[in-house]
Structure 1
Amino acid sequence: MDFLSINTRFMDDVVNELQLKIERLENEINFKNGLISILSHDSKELFGTFLFLIEELEQKNISEEDFFTLLPQVKNDAKKNLQTVQDSIAWLKTQYGEFKIKPVKIRVMDLFHYLEERYAAQLKEKNINFYFKGDPNTFVTSDRILLEYILDKIFNNAAKYSLPGQDVYLQVITEDDQVVLSVTDFGTGMNEKYLSGIYTYNIPIFLGTSGEKGVGLSLKIVKNFISLLHGNIQIISAENKGTTVSIFLSKFIE
C-alpha cells in the first residue's frame, strides 16, 4: 500500500469520526432546545392558567364553586409540569459534573418487584395484571439508578396506555453476552407512521386511557440513558394491539 492510499484512508477515518461527532452534537443541541421549549411552554401555560383563575375569582367573574371545580385540571397540569422538571433534572445530572456509571450486580426479579411496588396504586386503580416472564434468577450488571429510571418510564407508558383489566409483562431473555429486558402491554398501541419520529419533538402527545397526560420527554431521556449504558432500544407497536419496548444490555459494563 503506497503513502497516498494510507493518507486517503486516514483522512476518510477522520472525516467519518468528525461526522459522527457532528451528528451527536446536533442531536444534543436538538434535545436541549426541545427541553427548553417544553419547560418554558408548560410553565407559562400552567402559571398563566392559575393566574387567570385567581384574577377571575377576585373580579367575581366566576364563583368559588366554579373555581374549585377547575382546580383538579390545574392539579393535573401541575403534576405533568413537575414530572417534566424531574425528568430534566435526571438528565442534567448525567451531563454535568463527574457523573460516572456505577455498575452493580442486579437481580432482574428485584427490578420487577421495584415496578410492582412503585405502581401498586395505579395497577390497582386500572385493574392491570403485571407478570414476570423468564428466569427469575437472571442477573445483569448495570447502573441501578439509570436502569431503574429507564424501566420506570417504559413501564409508566405501558400502564398509561393500557385499558382496565389488561396485562403487562416484564420479560427477560439472555442472549449470549446480552440481557434483553422487554415491557409488553396490550393497550392502545401506536400507528406505524409515528414510530419513526418517536424520539423527536414532532410526534403528537397522546392521552392515556384514563386521561393521563405526558409531554413525550421520557422516551428521549430513556434513549440517552440507554446509550450511556452502551445498550440499544427497540420499540414494536401496533395500533389497538399494544407495544413492546425492549432494551438490549451487555451482561457486564465497565
Structure 2
Amino acid sequence: MPHPKYKRRLLFESLFENAGVGLALVAKEGIPFRVNAKLCALLGYSEQELVETSFEKYTHPEDIEKDLDLFKSLLLGEIEVYEIEKRYIKKNGQVFWGLLTVSMAPPKEGAVTLIGMVQDIDARKCAEAELLKSEKLLLEHNAYKDKLFSLIAHDLRGSIGSNASLLSFIENNHASLSKEEIVKYISLLNANGSQTLEMLDNLLAWSQSQFKEKRFEPAILSLSQAIIKVSEQLQQQAKLKNNSIQVLISANLEVCADEQMLHVILRNLLSNAIKFSYSGKTITVTAIQDSSFVYVTVTDKGVGISERNIAKLLNNNREGFTSYGTKGEKGTGLGLNLCLQYIEQHGGDLQINSEVGKGSRFTFSIPAAEQE
C-alpha cells in the first residue's frame, strides 16, 4: 500500500501538471525551477526555456518594479501572499494581461520556495478598457449635449425675444414709422425668423439621429437639382447680405444618397457660407467625380477659419466652438456636427481649406450613382 506521503505527492503532481492555470515553483532569487504545461502555453516558451530564467524576462518593463517590491515583502515575511495584475510578454512579443498570485510553499529541506499562479485575464482587461472608453465618450457626449442645449436655449430665447420686442415696437409706433423703416424692420424679423427656423430644423434632425428615429434610405438623386432646391430656400438669407449662389454642376451628375440627409448637409454648408461671407460676394458650388465618389465643394469669400478652429470643427466640435457671421449671426456648431455625422453615414468625409480673411472651401464626398 502506497505511503500517505507518496499519495499526496502523486496528487500534487497531478494537480500541478493538469491545472487550468499557469503554475511555477520559484526559488527565492525569483527564478522558477519548475513550471507546468499551462504556463508554457500562456507564455509560448518551452519548460526548459522557462526554468532557470528570471520572471523579469517575460514581464512588461513597466510592471517589473511593483512585482519585485511585493516579492521582497513576501520573502521578508511582511505579507503572506500577494496578488497583482500585470502584463506578460510572450515569446512572440505579444503582450497579455495576467493575474499573478504568489505565496510561500511549505519549506523543504530548509530551502525557501514560492509558488506562483498565473491566470489569463486579457479578455477581461480588454473589456474593461472598452467600457472605460465608452464611459469617457458618453461623458464627453453628455457634456457636449448639455453645452449645446444651453447655447440653443440661449439663442432661441434671444431670437424669439428680439422678434417679440421688434413686433411690439412696430405695433406701438406703426403710425409714425415710414414705409422704408417698416420694410427694414420686417427684413430684420425675417432674418431672425430664418435663423430660428434653421436652429429648430437642425435640432430636430440631430434629435432624430440621436434616438435612431431617422432611417438611412439612400436613393439615386440628381445632385444639381438637390443643390438648386436648397439654394432657392436660402435666397432670402443671401439677398439680405447681397450675396448670390452660383451652382456650377452638370445636370447629369447623380449621387446615391439619403435625400433628407443630403439636403441637411447642403443647407448647413450653404447657410454657413452665406453667414460668413462678406456682403456682395458670390458663393459657388462645384463638384467632380471619380469612380466611386462625387466631391462637392462649397466656396465662400468671407472671414475664413484658423487651422486650430478647423481641427475643433472636424472633431465634432466637442469643445462647443462658436463664431459670429459678418452681420453678427451666431451659430451653435450643431449644423456642422450633423453634416459630419451624415457624411460619415454615407461613407464619405469632410475637408476644410480656409484662409483667415479670405474665405473657405468645404468639400464633402458622397457615393456616386453606379454607372449602368
TM-score grouping bracket, smaller chain normalisation: 0.7 to 0.9
Distance 2:334 2:215 in 1: 23
Structure 1 segment 1-254 matched on structure 2, within 5 A = 8=96, 11=123, 18=131, 21-22=134-135, 24-45=137-158, 64-65=172-173, 79-96=194-211, 98-125=213-240, 126-133=242-249, 135-198=250-313, 199-208=317-326, 210-251=327-368
8 A Cα contact 1:103 1:141, kept in partner: yes
TM-score by length of 1: 0.75
Instruction: Tell me the residue number matched to 2:30.
Output: none
Q: CA deviation at 1:161?
A: 2.0
SS of alignment partner, residue 210 of structure 2: coil
The Cα offsets for residues 16-62 of structure 1, whole Å up to 9 and x where unpaired, read as 7556644653453233212321233234545777888999x9xxxxx
Q: What TM-score does the superposition give when structure 2 sets the normalisation length?
A: 0.54
Contact 2:238 2:274 in 1 (8 A): yes
Q: 2:141 is matched by which residue type in structure 1?
A: E
Q: Which moved more, 1:92-101 or 1:121-130?
A: 121-130
Q: How far 1:145 moved relative to its partner? A: 0.2
Question: How many Å separate the matches in 1 of 2:343 and 2:255?
Answer: 14
Q: State the distance in 1 between where 2:310 and 2:197 align.
A: 26
1:175 to partner: Cα distance: 2.8
Flag the structure with larger Rg: 2
Higher mean displacement: 137-146 or 122-131: 122-131
Instruction: Give me the whole-angstrom Cα distance separating, in 1, the residues matched to 2:348 and 2:137.
Output: 16
Distance (whole Å) between structure 1 residues aligned to residue 228 and residue 165 of structure 2 = 43
Question: Matched residues in 2 for 1:123 and 1:81: separation?
Answer: 16
Write out per-residue CA displacement over residues 135-169 of structure 1, whole angstroms, 9 at most, x where no aligned residue: 44221111000011111100111122223442222
Indicate how the Cα distance of structure 1 residues 145 and 53 shifts in structure 2: closer, same or farther if over 3 A, else same. closer
Identity of aligned residues (%): 22
- After TM superposition, give the deviation of residue 183 of structure 1 in Å: 0.8
Aligned partner of residue 83 in structure 1, secondary structure = helix
* Unaligned residue ranges in structure 1 (runs of 5+): 58-62
Instruction: Give the aligned partner of residue 60 of structure 1.
Output: none
Counterparts of 1:234 and 1:243 in 2: how far apart (Å)?
A: 11
Displacement after TM superposition at 1:77 (Å): 5.1
